[in-house]
Chains A and B, each alone.
Chain A
């Protein structure tokens, strides 16, 4: 079991020694049962740090912010930031290293093993509780969670309320760390691409219908993009100003930039946006599932990315986010790469 005290002691040590600038971790939210991201700057604040089944967030998103801030500063503090990572999150670091967005010395990685279970899915839990409100959720001794409501405590199996991403997780122990808490448990994942299997059996018409209905719901709040540690581009086709403007950018340049999509949340534009995002995440998405969790209208966005992850695996034997020394999938060519799908 990962003990809060151990993580806190490590955090305290890091802050006291001045080895890290600050630590990105989890704290208990105002609702009393869910975790929130927290930024610990002082050793006396380390007792805020928690670890549990509501630590959904991929905190690498904030490592991206830190990098953005740093490039703006004249004399940036070059010490690393400490960051708590789950297995999936650690794979995001691998991608950022692979793409040279950050350097290894920029982060001090405090890994936590998800051991037997990962995080819960709030919507699954709400359905299970049927109106009762959760007050506390903890890891159970086996593949289960202990949920406390106003009516008492219940044991719920992981298979029922765990997030889909965790049910299909292939890296429940962080793949890159400076320090690791928890055990390197073994877990078998019978269906690593289970969530896309059903839709793969549908005809293309039915798939089109499914996605049209799903993406019609999109309100284009861009939470999926905003929460994603891989969506770090300064320029995005989805924005009205689709490129970085400096005082030297000429009016001509601005006028000639193509407006790729309209702001209207209509099916054509929504599909375009989500396709662009999915394609740009091919071979990069590490399946932290944050896009799907953040979506206020519950679009199964993870499925899109999972499908591309599967393609990368089947076509190129490429596992995303395990080895930062290997070139990124979409920026390398090998002689043995298959070409039979090019027509």
Chain B
């Protein structure tokens, strides 16, 4: 059954979650980001879009795989460094980010599951906040099988009704989280439900941007691999990592050894985010680079999101959050690029 939570009781809920690490959007130096809430009373869900998506909590930019240590002559001791999986709740997750997590679930799941990812993922409770109005001028979730109030990937969805939140419990994890709040939650009444539904319906009309008729884009991209289109489109690309690091669905990573002591050798094997936009991403040790220029790299980003991922998982690897557009220092606009692909003469 759906619930109602008075906004004044929201801090009480957070305080009841003592067993959890609580992340919520916070404004630091004019930039919003999901940060560990040290002062739970100060958490407010009145925020637009974070720079770094919530993926950083389930898939941190840096994590340890294991520790290696030279033991006796030529022998090594390896110590697995799995995350402890502390219960974590992320407040204010946008619908596009919840959906994005379901896409990274596909990548890190499957036959060979990624233990490090799942340890954090399984411990994380995602509390969504429906977007009454688009948090960014570049939102286009509706165009990529999403919506501003999508429940995908979320455990709880909250909708701001003014002085109270309409709270939809979506999973067992969500149920447990709400039960921690106890009596501060009340049963929602039909008018509340109606009010939430109206906000949801209205929110769909407020998106400023759209990416229409992209059904044929995957097939189109396949035929455009060798097109000079990519040279033109990538002219202004400066090969930084913003579009991918800050994408909620991008999951590429690097694995490196970080040495802490040479004799005896000791250190850790570390996973960090990586991006197809850096030239050394695909460079062979020989110096040969199958993606030698920024045209090839832009093509990879678009193809991965709108062709390869669709071929493998039947979904776009883009949830329309618009971060790559908003934050690109040179204004490369994924909507415009994909539209041009759509309209490209074969």
Report A142-189 residues with CB < 8 Å from chain B CB: none
B24-32, B187-195, B222-230 - the one binding chain A: B24-32
Q: Is the interface of A mostly helix, strand, loop or mixed?
A: loop
Q: Which of A38-71 contact B (CB under 8 A)?
A: 38-39, 57, 61-62, 65
- Is the beta-carbon distance between B329 and A223 smaller than 8 angstroms? yes
Residues of A within 8 A of B285 (CB): 245, 254
Alpha-carbon distance between A225 and B277 when the two chains are bound, in angstroms? 14
The complex places the Cα of A297 from the Cα of B327 at a distance, in Å, of 10
Q: Does B184 contact A (CB under 8 A)?
A: no
The closest CB in chain B to the CB of A54 belongs to B331
Give residues 253-280 of B contacting A (CB, 8 Å). 254, 256, 258, 270, 272-275, 278-280
A window 213-239: CB within 8 A of B: 214, 217, 219-223, 225-227, 239
Given A264-B258, A264-B272 in contact, is the A220-B241 Cβ separation under 8 Å?
A: yes
Whole-angstrom distance between the Cβ of A290 and the nearest chain B Cβ: 7
Name the B residues within 8 Å of A264 (CB-CB): 62, 258, 270, 272
Interface residues in A1-52 by Cβ distance below 8 A to B read: 29-31, 34-39
Determine the chain A residues whose CB is within 8 A of the CB of B33 once the complex forms: 297
Among A126, A241, A298, the residue within 8 A (CB) of B280 is A241
- Separation of A262 and B245 alpha carbons in the complex (Å): 17
- Asked if A212 lies at the interface with its beta carbon under 8 angstroms from chain B, I say no
**A313 part of interface (Cβ distance < 8 Å):** no
CA of A299 to CA of B246, assembled, Å:
16
Task: Give chain B residues whose Cβ lies under 8 Å from the Cβ of A298.
Answer: 29-31
Interface size class on chain B is 35 or more
Chain B residues, Cβ within 8 Å of A297: 29, 31, 33, 51-52
Cβ contact within 8 Å between A265 and B61: yes
Judge whether B137 is part of the interface by a CB distance below 8 angstroms: yes
User: Is B286 in the interface zone, CB < 8 Å from A?
Assistant: yes
Interchain CA distance A19-B197 in the complex, whole Å: 61
- Asked if residues A36 and B235 are in contact (CB atoms below 8 Å), the reply is no
Given contacts A219-B52, A223-B242, A264-B272, contact A36 B138 (CB under 8 A): no
- B336 neighbours in A (Cβ, 8 Å): 30
In the complex the two chains form, is B240's CB within 8 Å of A226's CB?
yes
B335 at the interface (CB under 8 A from A): yes
**Quick check: is B290 within 8 A (CB to CB) of the other chain?**
no
Q: In the complex, what residues of A have CB within 8 A of residue B138's CB?
A: 31
| Residues of B close to A331: CB separation below 8 A | none
Interface core residue of B51, B235, B285 (most chain A CB under 10 Å): B235
Q: How far is the CA of A37 from the CA of B278 in the complex (A)?
A: 21
Q: How far is the CA of A35 from the CA of B329 in the complex (A)?
A: 11
B258 contact set on A, CB distance < 8 A: 262, 264
What 0/1 pattern do residues 1 to 37 of B give for CB contact below 8 A with A?
Answer: 0000000000000000000000000001111010000
Q: Is the CB of B286 within 8 A of A57?
A: no
Contact partner, A29, options B61, B240, B287, B333, Cβ 8 Å:
B333
B interface majority secondary structure = loop
Tell whether B283 is near chain A: CB-to-CB under 8 Å. yes
Q: Known interface pairs A62-B235, A226-B238, A296-B31. Does A290 touch B329 (Cβ–Cβ under 8 Å)? A: yes
* Chain A residues, CB < 8 A from B333: 29-30
Q: Residue A280 at the B interface, CB < 8 A?
A: no
B286 touches A247 (CB 8 A): yes
Q: Is the CB of A39 within 8 A of B236?
A: yes
Contact B242–A245 (Cβ < 8 Å):
no
Chain A residue at minimum C-beta to C-beta distance from B331: A36
Judge if A293 is at the interface, Cβ distance under 8 Å: yes
Which one of B238, B280, B283 contacts A227 once the chains associate, using CB atoms below 8 Å? B238
- Would you call B239 an interface residue if the criterion is a C-beta within 8 Å of the partner chain's C-beta atoms? yes
Closest residue of chain A to B60 (Cβ to Cβ) is A265
Kindly list chain B residues whose C-beta atoms are within 8 Å of the C-beta of A30.
325, 331, 333, 335-336
Contact with A along B132-168 (1 / 0, CB 8 A): 0000011000000000000000000000000000000
Q: Is there a chain B Cβ closer than 8 Å to A207's Cβ?
A: no
Verify if B42 is at the interface (C-beta below 8 Å from A): no
A241 and B283 contact, CB distance less than 8 A: yes
Besides A65-B235, A217-B28, 4 new A-B residue pairs in contact (Cβ under 8 A), listed by A number: A226-B239, A264-B258, A296-B31, A296-B327
A interface residues (Cβ-Cβ under 8 A, vs B): 29-31, 34-39, 57, 61-62, 65, 123, 126-127, 133, 214, 217, 219-223, 225-227, 239-241, 245-247, 249, 254, 262-266, 290, 293-294, 296-299
- Listed by A's residue number, 23 A-B pairs whose Cβ atoms lie within 8 Å are A30-B333, A35-B331, A36-B236, A37-B236, A38-B236, A57-B329, A57-B330, A65-B235, A133-B137, A219-B273, A221-B240, A221-B242, A221-B275, A223-B242, A225-B240, A226-B329, A239-B278, A241-B280, A245-B283, A246-B287, A249-B287, A263-B62, A299-B29
